[in-house]
């Protein structure tokens, strides 16, 4: 366990310590309702956090790291150990954004007490500002339990990937009147329980706009609505790194293609002995 929450750059001449920026706070994010849209991206590593931090308000260490970093089939296999290790790395790499860590499947659903034990471990080991958990009405008492004990909570309703088996897939939610009413009740319950932020994922657009108007905390959309108080995307998806992406992803780059072509160039130069040259080798005295 590390208690040093700043990135040690003493051995890294390539990445000098950036100019100090005051870190945003959870209350400052909570006050952004209806104001300047909240910019949120996922990050899983210290270096990516360093690069994204100046441009974001919130960095989410998402349990999507199961698929994105570990090649697991879903988020259900992600562990508290993984979230703590990556969470601490992202906190070390960031100076300005509020860092939120996803609570992994199985670490909070059993009881508010179980959730507090897991969340307090995440907070202590990572230095993050808060946690995120999935669920609606059934999780509201847990959100209140954590919030009343000093742990800021971000909710997550609509398409909740940890419930993929119960939902039957990753399809958009809220197409029936019953589903729409349930998602609205879920959002209100989580906001009323004291969540400081609410992610709305994969719902038909009018529901996300309606939730945003009717709950007191700011909302963050992913496949939801431009009317939300902010937006989030998985970083690998928006960089064009992840092979299979949902309709709600906009690709801002093609890093997969650029990495493949860099590897192809390197391979060709090794095979032709064009690399290394004098510039990349050590001359004797």
Ligand X SMILES: Nc1nc(=O)c2c([nH]1)NC[C@@H]1CN(c3ccc(C(=O)N[C@@H](CCC(=O)O)C(=O)O)cc3)CN21
Ligand Y SMILES: CC(C)C(=O)C(=O)O
**Touching ligand Y, residues 101-120 (CB under 6 A):** 102
- Does residue 102 bind Mg ion (CB under 5 A)? yes
145-173 in b/e form (b: 16+ CB < 10 A) is bbbeeebbbbbbbbbbbbebeeeeeeebb
Q: Which of 109, 180, 201, 269 is catalytic?
A: 201
Integer Cα distance of 165 and 46 in angstroms: 32
SS3 assignment for 101-153: EECCCCCCCCCHHHHHHHHHHHHHHHCCCEEECCECHHHHHHHHHHHCCCCCE
Task: Show the site string, 36-75: x = touches Mg ion by CB under 5 A, - = not.
Answer: --------------------------xx------------
Residue 242 contact, options Mg ion, ligand Y, ligand X, none, Cβ 5-8 Å cut-off depending on partner type: ligand X
Considering CB under 5 A, how many residues would be counted as binding Mg ion?
3
Return the number of the residue (130 or 240) whose C-beta is nearest ligand X.
Answer: 240
Tell which one of 7, 98, 193, 199 touches ligand Y (CB under 6 A).
199
Cα distances from 16 to residues 10, 47, 119, 242, in angstroms, run: 8, 12, 32, 29
Residue 128 in contact with ligand Y, rule: CB under 6 A:
no
Site for ligand X in 214-273 (CB under 6 A): 234, 236-237, 242, 246-247
Structure tokens at 21: 């920026």
232 binds, among ligand Y, Mg ion, ligand X, none (CB under 5 to 8 A by kind): ligand Y
Is residue 160 at the binding interface for ligand X, with CB under 6 A as the rule? no
Cα end-to-end span (Å), the chain: 44
Shortest Cβ distance from residue 277 to Mg ion (Å)?
A: 46
Question: Is 125 among the catalytic positions?
Answer: no
For residue 98, what is the DSSP state? E
Q: How far from the centroid of its chain's Cα atoms is residue 5's Cα?
A: 19
- Token pair for residue 66? 């199961």
Is residue 157 within 8 Å of 199, Cβ to Cβ?
yes
Site for ligand X in 50-89 (CB under 6 A): 64, 67-68, 75
Residues in contact with ligand Y by the rule CB under 6 A? 42, 60, 62-64, 102, 156, 199, 201, 222, 232, 234
- So which residues are the catalytic ones? 201
């Amino acid at each position: 366990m590390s208690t040093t929450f700043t990135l040690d750059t003493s051995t890294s001449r390539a990445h000098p310590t950036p100019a100090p920026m005051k870190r945003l706070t959870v209350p400052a994010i909570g006050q952004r309702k209806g104001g300047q849209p909240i910019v949120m991206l996922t990050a899983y590593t210290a270096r990516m956090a360093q690069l994204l931090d100046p441009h974001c308000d919130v960095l989410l260490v998402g349990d999507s790291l199961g698929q994105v970093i570990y090649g697991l089939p879903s988020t259900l296999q992600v562990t508290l150990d993984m979230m703590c290790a990556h969470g601490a790395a992202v906190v070390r790499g960031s100076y300005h954004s509020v860092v939120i860590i996803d609570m992994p499947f199985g670490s909070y659903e059993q009881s508010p007490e179980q959730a507090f034990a897991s969340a307090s471990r995440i907070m202590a080991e990572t230095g993050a500002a808060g946690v995120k958990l999935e669920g609606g009405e059934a999780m509201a008492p847990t959100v209140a339990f954590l919030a009343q004990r000093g742990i800021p909570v971000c909710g997550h309703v609509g398409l909740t990937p940890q419930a993929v088996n119960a939902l039957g897939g990753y399809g958009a939610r809220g197409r029936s009147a019953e589903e729409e009413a349930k998602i609205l009740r879920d959002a209100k319950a989580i906001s009323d329980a004291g969540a400081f932020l609410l992610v709305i994922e994969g719902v038909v657009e009018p529901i996300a706009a309606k939730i945003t108007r009717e709950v007191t905390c700011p909302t963050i959309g992913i496949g939801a609505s431009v009317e939300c108080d902010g937006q989030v995307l998985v970083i690998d998806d928006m960089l064009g790194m992840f092979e299979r992406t949902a309709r709600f992803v906009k690709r801002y780059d093609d890093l997969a293609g650029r990495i493949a072509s860099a590897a192809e160039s390197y391979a060709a130069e090794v095979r032709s002995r064009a690399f290394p040259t004098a510039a990349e080798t050590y001359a004797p005295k």
